[in-house]
Structure 1
Amino acid sequence: MKAMILAAGHGTRMRPLTDHTPKPLLQAGGKPLIVWHIEKLARAGFRDIIINLAWLGWKIPAALGDGSRWNVTLHYSDEQSEGALETAGGILKALPLLGNAPFLVVNGDVWCDYPCLPYALPEHDLAHLVLVNNPAHNPQGDFALSNERVANAGEPRYTFSGIGYYHPALFAGLSAGKHPLAPLLRAAMDAGQVSGEWFAGDWRDIGTPERLAELDRDLTANA
C-alpha cells in the first residue's frame, strides 16, 4: 500500500512562521512535522510515499531528498504552478503516482500517535476514516460514527483526524483542478460506502503557532 502526505497548504494561520518556511518543515521535538509522519509510515512498512507541494514547495524536497535515509522512496506531486488544489484536487493530481489500489492519506499539519498501518478497505467501500474526540476548536464534530460506519447525520459525532484510506474510485469523474474532499466523502457516506473507527489516543491539529509550541514542549519533555 502507498501513502500520501498532504503538504501543499499555505499555512496562513501559522504566520509569521510560514512566511519563509512551508508548514510541514516547521519543527517540533527537534524535527520537522513531516518527518514524524515519514518515520511512522516507514515503521509501519510503507515504502512509497507521495508528498504534494505548493507554497514554498521546492524547500520540501530540498530538505527531505529521495527518502533513502528512512528506507522509503519519496515521490513529489508538484502543484506550485496551479496553486494548492485543495485536498481532493491534490489527491486527484497525484493518482498516477498512487496507482490503482487503495492508499493512505495523512494531513501534514496534524500530529497523532495513530499507528497508520496498511488497511484493507471492505469490499464496495470507497473510504475508511479515522475519527477522534472533538477538540475545543471543533466542538460539534464532523461526522457520526455507528457500528464502524460513518454518516453525515447522527450521534455520536466525532472530528475527522485527517487520516483516511481511500479507493481511487472515490475520485472518479473529477476534472483536474481545485476540489475539496468533504463533498466526495459525504456523497459516499450517503451511499453507505464509508467505514470508520474512533481513535482515542493523542491527536493534535497543529494549526496555530501556539499549538505548535505546545507540541514542541510536550515532545521535548518526553524525549
Structure 2
Amino acid sequence: MKAMILAAGRGERMRPLTDTTPKPLLNVGGIPLIGHHLQRLQAAGFRDIVINHAWLGQQIEATLGTGRAYGVNIRYSAEKEGGLETAGGIATALPLLGCKPFLVINGDVLTDIDFAQALNIGERIQQTGKLAHLWLVDNPQHHPEGDFSLTQTGDVTEQQPYNPTLTFSGVGVYHPALFNNIQPHTRVKLAPLLRTAIQTDQVSGEYHAGYWLDVGTVERLNQANQWVIESGGE
C-alpha cells in the first residue's frame, strides 16, 4: 500500500513562521513535523510515499529528498501556487498512487494512530466496495461542533441521533474511485465528496482515543513539541 502526506497548505495561522518555512518543515522535537509521519509510516511497513506541495515546496523536496534518510521512497506532486485543496491534490497525484486503496495523512497533524491498520483496511475496502475509511477523534476546543458520527456498525454518518459527534482526524484510507469525477489540477475540497459517499453508506470509520493534535497555530506547535519531549512521540 502507498501513502500520501498532504503538505501543500500555506499555513496562514502560523505566520510569520511560515513566511519562510513551509509548515510541514517546522521543527517538532528536533525534526520536521512531517518527519514524524515518515518515521511512523516506515515503522508501519510503508515504503512508497507521495507528498504534494505548493507553498515553498522546493524546500520540502530539498530537505526530504528521496526519503532515504527515513527509509522510504518519496515522490512529489507539485501544485500551482495556492494549492488544489485536499481532493484536488489527491486526484492530481493519482498517477503516483496507483489503482488500489491508499492511506492519506494531513501533514499538519501529530498523532499516534497506528498506520499499520491501514493495510488491512485497504483490503477490506476492496472487498466491501466502500470508498473511504476515516479515523475520528474527540472534538478539540477549536472545533467543538465536530464533523461526523459513527454508527454501531462502524459506518460514518451525519444523521442524528448518532452521538457523540466527532472530528475527522485528517487520516483516512481512500479508494481511487472516490476521485473519479475530479479533473487533475483543479481545486476541489474533500468534505463534499465524503458527504456524498456517506449518504450512500460508502464510508466506514473508527474512533481513535489516543493522541491527536491539529498543529495549526503557534500555541499548538508548542504543545506538539512538549508532547514529543514528554512522550518521545510514542
- Per the normalisation by structure 1, the TM-score is 0.97
AA partner of residue 197 (structure 1): E
Match of 1:88 in 2: 87
1:168 equivalenced with 2:173 (yes/no)? no
**Mean CA deviation greater in 126-135 or 143-152:** 143-152
After superposition, what is the alpha-carbon deviation per residue over 1:40-82, rounded to whole angstroms, capped at 9, x for unaligned?
Answer: 0000000100000100000001001101122210000000x35
After superposition, what is the alpha-carbon deviation per residue over 1:130-163, rounded to whole angstroms, capped at 9, x for unaligned?
Answer: 0001111111110011121001222221000000
1:217 equivalenced with 2:222 (yes/no)? no
Match of 1:114 in 2: 113
Q: State the 1:221 CA deviation.
A: 3.3
Match of 2:157 in 1: 151
Partner Cα separation in structure 1 for residue 142 and residue 53 of structure 2: 27
The runs of 5 or more residues in structure 2 that have no matched partner are none
Query: What is the DSSP-based 3-state SS (H/G/I as helix, E as strand, rest coil) of the residue aligned with 1:139?
Result: coil
Partner Cα separation in structure 1 for residue 141 and residue 22 of structure 2: 25
CA contact (8 A) 1:104 1:163 kept: yes
Larger helix fraction of residues: 2
Match of 1:36 in 2: 36
**Mean CA deviation greater in 168-177 or 187-196:** 168-177
CA contact (8 A) 2:132 2:202 kept: yes
CA contact (8 A) 1:30 1:220 kept: no
- How many residue pairs are counted as aligned between the two chains? 222
- Per the normalisation by structure 2, the TM-score is 0.92
CA contact (8 A) 2:6 2:104 kept: yes
User: What RMSD over aligned residues (CA atoms) do the two structures have, in Å?
Assistant: 1.0
Partner Cα separation in structure 1 for residue 174 and residue 81 of structure 2: 24
Partner Cα separation in structure 1 for residue 9 and residue 115 of structure 2: 21
After superposition, what is the alpha-carbon deviation per residue over 1:167-187, rounded to whole angstroms, capped at 9, x for unaligned?
Answer: 000001112300000000000
Runs in 1 of length 4+ with deviation above 4 angstroms? none
The runs of 5 or more residues in structure 1 that have no matched partner are none
